[in-house]
A and B are shown apart, each in its own frame.
Chain A
Amino acid sequence: AQTVTQSQPEMSVQEAETVTLSCTYDTSESDYYLFWYKQPPSRQMILVIRQEAYKQQNATENRFSVNFQKAAKSFSLKISDSQLGDAAMYFCAYRSAITGNQFYFGTGTSLTVIP
């Protein structure tokens, strides 16, 4: 089974500043998908951004962008102009494009936004 590692259990950022959350994964496959999900205190799981491994261009969604380094098996999430509403648990997830039925999640990073 693939493993997804989020090495930062907790992070904090000043409002309006930029923060980067780390994610690494272990796989022998070349074709896969990566996702970042946000879980606010309401407990909902909300898709933030996704990346296809075959795309070299890093995905961007408004203030959220990723730094995808395929050779290093790294998939970090950058949040720019942090807002109070960004405070949440963030999960990185991997899904194979070949066997594809299972998502593998990291253990999460709890982000605090300081006013």
Chain B
Amino acid sequence: DAEITQSPRHKITETGRQVTLACHQTWNHNNMFWYRQDLGHGLRLIHYSYGVQDTNKGEVSDGYSVSRSNTEDLPLTLESAASSQTSVYFCASSPGQKETQYFGPGTRLLVL
């Protein structure tokens, strides 16, 4: 069955290190999204992509970057991890801009 996966599911890193979180979907969806979820804030959009080579900033993009070299993957990179980036990260995809978004299982990141 088609699906969306994230890896790793849990990650502990140190302040200042570069970290990359993977997101892979097999639905052949054009749109992919990265959110973070923190207590008291719900889900907030970090970056999104409408297709290969397309990337856009979301509400909380500072300190994060993404690249889209193929349809299936949208890796999220924390250039220099900070303790404020400790969070749960969710990836999502949708066939088009007005279509339903489907979410991955999440990655719990702890920055020490």
Q: Do A and B associate with each other?
A: no
Q: List the interface of chain A (C-beta within 8 A of B).
A: none
Q: List the interface of chain B (C-beta within 8 A of A).
A: none
